[in-house]
Structure 1
Amino acid sequence: MEFRINVEMFLWSLRNWPIFSFIDWNCVSKVHMALVYGNLGNEALIVTTDKVVYALGCNTSGCLGIGVSHSTLYPKKVEALCGKDIKTFAHGRGPHVLALTEEGKIYSWGHNNHGELGNNSTNHMIPTLVTRNLTNEFIVDVACGSHHCLALTKEGKVYAWGENTRGQVGNSVNINEDTPMKVNSKLADKTIICISCGQSSSMTVTDSGEIYGWGCNQVGQLGIGNYVNQVNPCKVTTLVGIVIEKIVCGYAHVLALSNKGVLYVWGGNNCGQLGLDESRKTNVCSPRQLAVKEMGRVLDIASSHYNHISVAMGEGNRIFMWGECLGQIITVPILVTVASLHDVFARYASPSVMHQPLVLYGEEPDMSLTDYFRNAFDDQSTSDLVVRVQQKCIYVHKAFLAIRCQYFRTMFQQNLIKNNQSVIEEQTFSYDVYKAFLKYFYTDEIDLPPGNIPEFLKLAHTYSENQLKKHCVEKIKEEITIENAALLYGMSVEYNAKESEEYCFKFMLNHMTVVTQTANFAKLDENTIKSFMVKAAQVGASETVACDI
């Protein structure tokens, strides 16, 4: 999932990286993309909106790409890349760098002792096009381990090259493979949509959500249930049936995110980077679910083969981190006050390098007033009131609730909640129902898990939200069945929800024989049953008269 970053956040994030301290941003055209890399976070690349590429820093192994070996504190043009329309970068520990263009071409430069540049260039200090076996391929993504590389084609095929001491490039007889080779074996008939590299391992995700990995497996980072290195891709069978959308590798551990927002972890855990336990730091060779109540549904994940840190974005765009942070070992995810995933790597990772380029998109999508309200719900950064339900927090705004809801307006006006009170407890209703209730005031939609509509109706009645009762009809249409029709009808009558009562009545009338035999119908009170039968008889009589006429 790609979270677009605005101008203010982009510039703020850049200032978190020390290497940019000497830059006079007025001397460089508007920045579109930036990458911080190198063993000490002491090299950087900048791409401007007019497609000019600059580099600055230590220039280890000529990794700045400026054609000379000396370092520079001030941006120098990378002439070979200017005007090439750079899409993204990837970097390894040498350091070596790959640049991918929007036209699907790869340029490489920097450290090349293990064939990680994938070309036969004699000058590793100048970006050179990688053409071996890739001339007719359109590349859509690249990834780097410490000394090896992966490239993903438009057709979903994977090429690998570089150091192959642990099989991370694939089934090759060479210890160092300096030519991109297609990874076949079990991937030959697969379409790959995501690639990532650990220090000496390679991981991929197919379009059906399956995971395959190969290379170093000494601490279980391939997730295949053992600790044996693999030269051919192996399926992570534990997650069969679970659709994985994204996978990221740390030095020797892995995070995988499902399409349901569930996070799975495995691999090395010497620094607590799996986040599984406060006391245990044992390695894990099969995927384990990492469930953190405060995190809720996970929206995005990040890690880097340079270090042992793990980062995740949860509900409300809240950022959590764990693992090795500023030299300290954090074994359970903790909430941090930062604006983006990049800020965690800038402030807490060792070394402080980017897990991927920081990109400012030229045009932000048009947003309506409704979009702004929707984004404001459960947003910790702007909230002035926390509603705690079943030990979970929901972040809201007093003024907004006072405008939309008479119950809250009365509460605030009568000082039933003090102006400086920031947390209130809700103990009557469940978390899912109350969260859906609060979200309704921001979106005019009922975002409610199945099976909760009876409790939701009760809540709407308790808070005298008659308009909300009307909205419940659509949810009832989605969920009503023979078994629950009488229950929903009885609650609609009890809570004076006329529209839902009428819909349930018509449903019951159309399925009268089977509905009246259900347990829920038998549980209705005598007056409700009598009222239903009388009304049903009247409707039946009217239909008979109409037919006679």
Structure 2
Amino acid sequence: MTNIYDVAKWPVFGLLDGVALANIKLACVFGSTGNETIYVTCDDEVFAMGSNVNGCLGVGDVQSTLTPRKIESLSKKGITSIACGSGPHVIAATEDGELYSWGHNGYCQLGNGSTTQGMVPCVISAGLNGSKVVQVSCGSHHTLVRTDRGEVYAWGYNNCGQVGSGATSNISNPRRVSATSVLVFAWGYNGNGQLGMGNNVNQPSPCRVSSLQNIIISQIVCGYNHTLALSDEGKLYAWGANAYGQLGTGNKANQVTATLVDVLDKRVVAMAAIHYSHLSAATLQSGDVYMWGQCRGQSTTSPIKTKFSCLDDVFACFSSPPVTWRPLTFENFVGRRALEESLMLAFNDENTSDISFVVEDQRIHVHKAFLKISEIEITQFTYPVYRAFLHYLYTDHVDIPPEEAISLMDLANAYCETHLKKLCERIIKQGITVNNSFHLLAAAIKYEASDLHDFCFKFCVNHLTEVVQTESFLAFEETHTKDFIIRAAKWGAFKY
């Protein structure tokens, strides 16, 4: 999530007033100078403004505009994701799995069977075999999407095999990429070793990245000519071009295999890069945000700590051009508002409070005017959990270990605090380790948190050899242990 007021950090939004900014729920900033944007409002209207190169704004002409113009064909369609290439060309997906494309099409990147420039968004239907699209991504002049069936389709410019078709001719309609495995595969241009194959040879077909063998990768992002990968244990790997220090290795030498970015000695929970720039960034479990690479034209070879609280702000302020590395998403909460520092400081202040909660013989000082709670059974929760809940009501922030977060999520559920539940789930997923994974699995079972149960189960299976040697596994209830073993067997954990 991005704060609704942070969108003003992007120069292209500089002429919008506060009301218009607060009404944005999804936005994408793109273009060679970061001067084009498409955004969706809370009313599900879609607008565009900026340079309009090659008709990329989708408004039917190539006229640039400093004021928002409505994209009629996308409004009320439930747009959930947007991606942009360098032409630029634009791809958008809806909540129903429909796919739209428009803009530059000199290399068939619109997937409509032609090379004709698209002035307005048109539905892509041919080639997807009736599948619904759930995720979209663009290279400079090619496109990839993921479907609800877990399939990957690609099309567009293919001179180096970036579409993964096994040949090097351009592909004008979506074509399925045939690589089915939980392993990491790469294909396409490899002049700087960005495929991680140990060489600089282009790959027209998907090939396994052997340097990541036995490492469970949870996220991958690509920069202009470099790649970042994040393991499920929070370790960051990088490879490819490094002329600006974008690999974070402390030097400018290219790397043709996955290299651990060991400068970040704490767990990494998120990372960012985009094909428009040579900038890299990462968020640690502590919440600290680091960046490296080409930062406003300056080469930074080692990660440096920023004052930002999210990765999006790094790209708004230091990327050249200032583009979004992913679609910006904004959440508005009924009854929430920008909280003043004085209100945050008032939490647990016995000098100003007029009511206190006693939990495990410890007091938490709060205010009747702020809390609208009529009754609660405090004995159901521990002091750290209930304190974190009250602190959240004052600040919208949560600071609690992952082992306690599931109990806090149960409390959030009792009060219908949807946002708090999401924060708890994020804390658990970002904080899971080999040592605490079975403890978290047990808690997920106890609180009947099915999604977290599945997440913790998969982590345990992926690290089975290490996990079964931990104290939390030995302390696991016998009944649950049997259920876990049976489910793991069905998952294929014991196959040779």
In which range does the TM-score fall when normalised by the shorter chain? 0.5 to 0.7
Measured after TM superposition, the shift of residue 175 of structure 1 is: 2.9
CA contact (8 A) 1:273 1:322 kept: yes
Measured after TM superposition, the shift of residue 26 of structure 1 is: 3.1
Cα-to-partner distance string for 1:145-181 (whole Å, 9 max, x where unaligned):
1000101111111111110011001235453221111
Structure 2 equivalent of residue 286 of structure 1: 257
Measured after TM superposition, the shift of residue 132 of structure 1 is: 1.8
CA contact (8 A) 2:46 2:75 kept: yes
Cα-to-partner distance string for 1:89-131 (whole Å, 9 max, x where unaligned):
0000001100011111110000111111111475611001111
Q: Which moved more, 1:170-179 or 1:143-152?
A: 170-179
- Secondary structure, aligned partner of 1:39: coil
Task: Determine which structure has more spread, i.e. the larger CA radius of gyration.
Answer: 1
TM-score by length of 2: 0.67
CA contact (8 A) 1:31 1:49 kept: yes
Measured after TM superposition, the shift of residue 67 of structure 1 is: 0.7
**Structure 1: tracts of 5 or more residues without a match:** 191-205, 367-381, 384-396, 405-437, 452-477, 483-549
Aligned in 2, Cα 1:257/1:365: closer, same or farther, shift over 3 Å? farther
Cα-to-partner distance string for 1:13-38 (whole Å, 9 max, x where unaligned):
21111111111343578211111111
2:138 is equivalent to residue 126 of structure 1: no
2:65 is equivalent to residue 72 of structure 1: yes
Among 7, 13, 30, the alignment partner of 1:37 is 30
Aligned in 2, Cα 1:219/1:318: closer, same or farther, shift over 3 Å? same
CA contact (8 A) 2:233 2:433 kept: no
Distance 1:124 1:214 in 2: 27
Measured after TM superposition, the shift of residue 340 of structure 1 is: 1.1
Cα-to-partner distance string for 1:271-322 (whole Å, 9 max, x where unaligned):
1111112xx31111111111235x5100101000011111000122110000
Cα-to-partner distance string for 1:467-520 (whole Å, 9 max, x where unaligned):
xxxxxxxxxxx84999xxxxxxxxxxxxxxxxxxxxxxxxxxxxxxxxxxxxxx
- Secondary structure, aligned partner of 1:19: helix
Distance 2:472 2:39 in 1: 56
Aligned in 2, Cα 1:84/1:338: closer, same or farther, shift over 3 Å? same
Among 145, 154, 175, the alignment partner of 1:181 is 175
Aligned in 2, Cα 1:449/1:132: closer, same or farther, shift over 3 Å? closer
Aligned in 2, Cα 1:168/1:24: closer, same or farther, shift over 3 Å? same
Structure 2 equivalent of residue 108 of structure 1: 101
Measured after TM superposition, the shift of residue 344 of structure 1 is: 0.4
CA contact (8 A) 2:58 2:102 kept: yes
Measured after TM superposition, the shift of residue 363 of structure 1 is: 4.5
Off by >6 Å, runs of 4+ in structure 1: 442-445, 447-451
Among 285, 294, 314, the alignment partner of 2:284 is 314
CA contact (8 A) 1:246 1:257 kept: yes
Aligned positions of 1:363-378 closer than 5 A: 363=333
Distance 2:47 2:275 in 1: 25
- Secondary structure, aligned partner of 1:10: coil
Among 240, 247, 252, the alignment partner of 1:267 is 240
Measured after TM superposition, the shift of residue 364 of structure 1 is: 8.5
2:250 is equivalent to residue 250 of structure 1: no
Structure 1 equivalent of residue 185 of structure 2: 212
2:264 is equivalent to residue 297 of structure 1: no
Aligned in 2, Cα 1:238/1:24: closer, same or farther, shift over 3 Å? same
Structure 1 equivalent of residue 300 of structure 2: 330
CA contact (8 A) 2:184 2:209 kept: yes
2:158 is equivalent to residue 164 of structure 1: yes
Distance 1:135 1:20 in 2: 38
Measured after TM superposition, the shift of residue 361 of structure 1 is: 2.7
CA contact (8 A) 1:53 1:78 kept: yes
Among 32, 53, 56, the alignment partner of 2:46 is 53
CA contact (8 A) 1:450 1:479 kept: no
Distance 2:335 2:161 in 1: 43
Among 139, 149, 162, the alignment partner of 1:145 is 139
Of all paired residues, the percent bearing the same amino acid is: 41
